[in-house]
A and B are shown apart, each in its own frame.
Chain A
Amino acid sequence: EAGVAQSPRYKIIEKRQSVAFWCNPISGHATLYWYQQILGQGPKLLIQFQNNGVVDDSQLPKDRFSAERLKGVDSTLKIQPAKLEDSAVYLCASSRAGRGGLETQYFGPGTRLLVL
């Protein structure tokens, strides 16, 4: 079974520029998560999709971050414009049916973003 795929693996941009990350979850997984992991901290949930609907985006800075999951499969996360404090690893994860606490989440390798 192929794992969660993410691209790019690394990205360096200047502040105020835009950036987009892509995630392809494990085939058949209904739930997709985007996390932000700042150096030295644990992952923080940004947004959770169930199929192509948003379940939780309470911690997504909506003035600059947006995410979509068209057709309930792939997802993109965009930052526009980026700030220095957005430097972090962006992790995508998926699970079968969205019972977050009772199910294993499978994580991709992450995209490391550096904002200069």
Chain B
Amino acid sequence: SQQGEEDPQALSIQEGENATMNCSYKTSINNLQWYRQNSGRGLVHLILIRSNEREKHSGRLRVTLDTSKKSSSLLITASRAADTASYFCATDRTQGGSEKLVFGKGTKLTVNP
């Protein structure tokens, strides 16, 4: 079963604008990761935020985590056409004694030049 739900499902913006994607989840998590997937390719890890962190930055990416609301957001600033991809949040939880990532359905981002 999928743990995370990304919102919106699809987002279309102009180059230079900021893009915000949200992720909500249902159960307690250890950590949360964001991945990017270009069309027809595998996933690429973007950023990991631990459950005791509230905000993290990496280049043009900013991730927030609110464990009380069970939600996270990914902000891409000054977007570029090359940012066009699907973005997935993945929640890490311990289940049956093993730690695993559970992915959401993703947000499809289109950045128009």
Q: Which A residues lie at the B interface, using CB under 8 A? A: 4, 40-45, 48, 55-56, 58, 91, 93, 98-102, 104-110, 112
Report which of B41, B42, B98, B105 forms a contact with A48, defined as CB distance below 8 A. B98
**Assembled-state Cα–Cα distance A109/B41 (Å):** 5
Taking CB atoms, residues of chain B closer than 8 Å to A98 are 99
Q: Chain B interface: which size bin? A: 20 to 34
State the CA gap A106–B35 with chains docked (Å): 10
Q: Is the CB of A42 within 8 A of B31?
A: no
Q: A42-B88, A101-B31, A102-B48 are in contact. Are A4 and B101 (CB under 8 A)?
A: no
Identify which of residues 56-113 in chain B touch chain A, using a CB-to-CB cut-off of 8 Å.
88, 90, 92-93, 95-96, 98-106
7 A-B Cβ contacts within 8 A? A42-B106, A100-B98, A101-B92, A102-B48, A104-B33, A106-B45, A108-B42
For the complex, is B2 an interface residue (Cβ under 8 Å from A)? yes
